[in-house]
Amino acid sequence: MELLYENQILRMPPGTVENIRKIHDLDKPERLDEAIKILDDWIQKQDHLIKKDFSRVYLEKTLISCKGSVEKAKKQIDRLCTMKTLNPKFFTKTNVKAELQNILRVALLIPLPTLTDDYYRVLLVKIRSFDLTSESFMLYFQYCLILCEYIKANDYVNGFIIIYDCRELNMFDVVSKMSTVELQQFITILIEGYGARMKSIHILTESKAIELIINTVKQFISEKVGNRMYVQRTLEDLHKDVPKNILPVEYGGTEKSLDILQEEMVRELSKEEYVDYVKMMFNARTEEGKRNAGKFNEEYLGMPGSFRALSVD
């Protein structure tokens, strides 16, 4: 699957790709070609990586998420393949419409169609307490990772702005049902595996109990990302940070409604071509018996949850 520059769901203004490449010093073709070749050559030499044929688009996107650093891109690819091996439960679902219908009634997760002027994609998350169970969180994590693969294949961005609409969410319900171990593992996969760079995280709620969630999440993220979390009490507060032309009509914006956007996204994620692509990417794992044990200990023994538990023969 190649990058779809003409995409009706994720729009990119003319010059997006060129300008983002320039931001990360990859605008000269010879520099980009060299970086991709170095990264691909490195992959071919890693006996423990099962997948060797990552597309040029995938490698370029990885470099962009690593701000042009080839060394960081190597680590990101290795870490994501390793995480898929060590925590396969996050990667068992591949068809949203067929396997994740239950979570769609509880959670909305939508990349909004219009980029910000500085090339950030806004992700809107709305979770309801209705029918929320302990299993709901894992289903939500699995849905997020399917979407991550879609964005990496079909979008070109400088990072993300996330809006969590928690106005219909009972915070104490969340705290009582959510596994903090799984939350930590998910955040690690998202940031270290997929290279999700957060410009800001906006939490829309009037609940004072939100501090419980924020304090929990801050344990698992860097101080820099933690300082980019903001609580917005009203839509007017949100409009100061996210332009109205990007937001859906329910949020005082001019974009399509949430229901229409979700319907379009689910239809896109459930196409046979994309489901096959996700299956392929979720199987891009590692054969740990072929990895240098010393290198594994150095890189992964400090990682959360079951990442610590694996012993390499």
User: pLDDT (tens digit, 9 = 90+) per residue, 40-52?
Assistant: 999 999 999 999 9
Reported as a pLDDT band with limits 50, 70 and 90, residue 84 is very high
In terms of Cα–Cα distance, which of 259, 261, 6 is closest to 122?
261
Q: What is the pTM of this model?
A: 0.90
Task: Please classify residue 273 by burial: count the beta carbons closer than 10 Å to its beta carbon, then call 0-12 exposed, 13-18 middle and 19+ buried.
Answer: exposed
For residues 143 and 107, give the distance between their C-alpha atoms in angstroms, rounded to a whole number. 10
pLDDT tens digit sequence for 191-248: 999 999 999 999 999 888 888 889 888 988 899 999 999 999 999 999 999 999 999 9
Reported as a pLDDT band with limits 50, 70 and 90, residue 312 is very low
Q: What integer pLDDT is reported at residue 100 of this predicted model?
A: 94
Q: From residue 258, how far is each of 8, 21, 277 by CA, in Å?
A: 16, 31, 26
Q: What integer pLDDT is reported at residue 300 of this predicted model?
A: 55
Domains present along the chain, CATH in parentheses: 12-86 (no CATH), 91-273 (3.40.525.10)
For residues 207 and 108, give the distance between their C-alpha atoms in angstroms, rounded to a whole number. 20
Give the pair of three-digit tokens for residue 82. 């390793």
pLDDT tens digit sequence for 127-154: 877 778 889 999 999 999 999 999 999 9
Q: What integer pLDDT is reported at residue 301 of this predicted model?
A: 47
pLDDT tens digit sequence for 165-189: 999 888 888 888 889 999 999 999 9
Q: What is the mean pLDDT of residues 16-37?
A: 96
> Taking 50 as the threshold, does the pLDDT of residue 309 lie above it?
no
